[in-house]
Amino acid sequence: MSTTHAVIGTPLGELTLIARDDALTAVRFAGGGHREEDIGESAGTELFAEAERQFAEYFDRRRTRFELPLAPRGEPFQLRVWELLQEIPYGETTSYGALARRLGDVGHSQAVGAANGRNPLPVIVPCHRVIGADGSLTGYAGGLDRKRYLLALEEPPAEDAGRLF
């Protein structure tokens, strides 16, 4: 198993895509402080080219869901939370409590928040779509400005935008 990486430019700044074999294992924001041994050698692969294409489509509002092979590493609870994150529809948000209820126990809200914060595949696994129960923006690994940007990008256009009457 070999780990490779590629760096792509996005409106959020450079993203480092990390893959092991033929699946993405992580996406890291610029300034994330990763070590070379964690991300492997730089490589130009079909996977990275496809990921870059899908990111471009997403930021152009032509893609609402990523379709890439993913292999995040985490504890079973984290993996379940990350699966639930992928079920949050584009342009919608949910709360930590709502995700905890879907897992069967609203008391797990903090654990859901911790798993959300450890999501190794931000943007692709849309942890930015999780907000506080009161509608407030809460932490995001890439910073709240990036979270705000992503939520605004996904905001549906007003139905009456562009109408003359």
Q: Give the whole-angstrom CA distance, residue 96 versus residue 99.
A: 5
Closest by CA to 71, choosing from 26, 35, 109, 108, is 26
Active-site residue identified among 127, 130, 150, 151:
127
Helices 109-117 and 76-85 cross at an angle (nearest 10°) of: 80
Closest by CA to 8, choosing from 36, 27, 34, 33, is 27
Catalytic, 103? Answer no
By annotation, the residues acting in catalysis are 127
